[in-house]
Amino acid sequence: MQRSVPGIRFVLIAMVLFAFQDGISRHLAEHYPVPFFVMVRYWFFLIFVLALSARRKGGLRATARTRWPLLQFFRGVLLASQIVIIVIAFGRLGLGATQAIFAMQPLLATLLAVPLLGERIGPHRLAAILVGFAGMLVILRPGVDVFDPNAILALTATLMFALYAVLTRLVGREDGSSAPAFLYTGVGGAAVLTLIGPFYWAEPTLADWGWILVLSITGMSGHYFLIRAYEVTEAVRIQPFVYLQPMFAMIIGPVVFGEPSDIWIWVGAAMIVLAGLYALWRERLRLPSPASPSQDDRKPPSHAD
């Protein structure tokens, strides 16, 4: 457990930074076209990615080497598009409700991994996914007067990020490294937003230029600390703490922006988070123990979880 402390500390810092990033995005979305300031944010992110990649052994050329260049580029475009959609949802549906729905992302990724990665889902993780969907229905309450059609934006963004996560696992498995995926995330996203963003150019006030700068810094810093967390600690140990980001955002929404919040949003979010944590726990049970590795780690498990 002691070895996990640095990674947990890094991921907690990252989640706080990402929550602040969401709050700033929510503020800017009230006053400016979303593609504009997301484009500026991506310009800073691209510089950050290129600088990190250039420092790796072999430099940019070695980092850019991948077996899936088109798929890597598509991932970057997909993530940039997802960010634009979810920030629009922040403004229309609210930060808290959007992030409560977005907490479904790991469960959706587990579902998408079946056709895309050839993984199997046993009864335990399938039950967790069903509980997560039930929690989402509690939040959305379809057929009730409080249902907001803008929730479709949040659902779309959640599904897009789940697909992005699964594709990231796919290319990482084929390339044997996450470095190309990180580089192409910045390159692909910056490329597509630079093509679209100028059509939405606005003239922010000096204060809002400051917020755009802070948005860019929190985004880069959050990614840095998340990378550090995965470098020093096993992913399965720190993944549960990722669920703190939507919880932080659900507090920022009502407190800072006066968004409506009720007990059902929190109940639904709790169902989703607990289902996700249970699925992660079952996934951890499937992993071979470092102290006693299996005789043939390449063999698939004898049963699906």
Cβ proximity of 128 and 59 under 8 Å: no
Model pLDDT for residues 69-115, shown as the tens digit of each residue: 999 999 999 999 999 999 999 999 889 889 888 988 888 988 898 89
Cβ proximity of 114 and 222 under 8 Å: no
CB neighbour list of residue 47: distance below 8 Å, 6 or more residues apart: none
Cα–Cα distance, 49 to 277 (Å, whole number): 30
pLDDT on residue 294: 43
Cα–Cα distance, 79 to 85 (Å, whole number): 10
Model pLDDT for residues 28-40, shown as the tens digit of each residue: 999 999 999 999 9
Within a 10 A sphere around the Cβ of 206, how many other Cβ atoms?
6
Q: Left (φ > 0), alpha (ψ -120 to 50) or beta: where does 150 sit?
A: alpha
Q: What is the mean pLDDT of residues 53-62?
A: 89
Gap between the terminal Cα atoms of the chain: 25
Q: Six-digit token pair at 258?
A: 């006066």
Q: How much is the pTM?
A: 0.83
Of 103-117, 128-142, 223-237, the poorest mean pLDDT is in 223-237
Cα–Cα distance, 173 to 223 (Å, whole number): 21
